[in-house]
Structure 1
Amino acid sequence: MVVDGIIYRYRAGVPWRDVPREQFGPWKTVWKRYRRYTKDGTWDKVLQALLADADGRGLIDWTVSVDATIARAHQHATNTTRPEQDTGGHVESHARP
């Protein structure tokens, strides 16, 4: 029941406090179990076992695709400032001529 609560939380994308008590028990119990399993490596062991089983049955395609897309931002899209640098006009600096 608690593990199902953890799975529900990630599938639904809800905060821990919004995990339905009627279905999975108190949210704090679900969260504590998740935290404990994370710290002691239980989730890593579960993932390794599931991957090994799926790979052994030929259910995993290990082909990897790498995307080299570059997303450029406008020079004013950042929240940093440049020290005393002219950016090309009075419009950008909001200064009056």
Structure 2
Amino acid sequence: MNTKLHAICDSNGRPISFFVSAGQVSDYIGARALLSSLPDVDWLLGDRGYDADWFREALQDKGIRACIPGRKQRKTTVKYPS
């Protein structure tokens, strides 16, 4: 069995919040668990495992811009700063 560590870090990479999930669980579970503990920031940098329309919309509702690449199987291209 393995696990995943989902973390919110500051701009210097220092951890603020953690959530541990089973390794085979979708990253969406970690995103949902940590969403309410996001600090007041301008940007969120995440990997493509966090690419979900509901997550992008939740970030936008909080005034946070997402820098998350789209999943390979996404039907519509998502633009993000690189």
Per the normalisation by structure 2, the TM-score is 0.23
**Structure with more helix by fraction:** 1
Larger Rg: 1
Per the normalisation by structure 1, the TM-score is 0.21
Higher-RCO chain (CA-CA 8 Å, sequence separation at least 6): 2
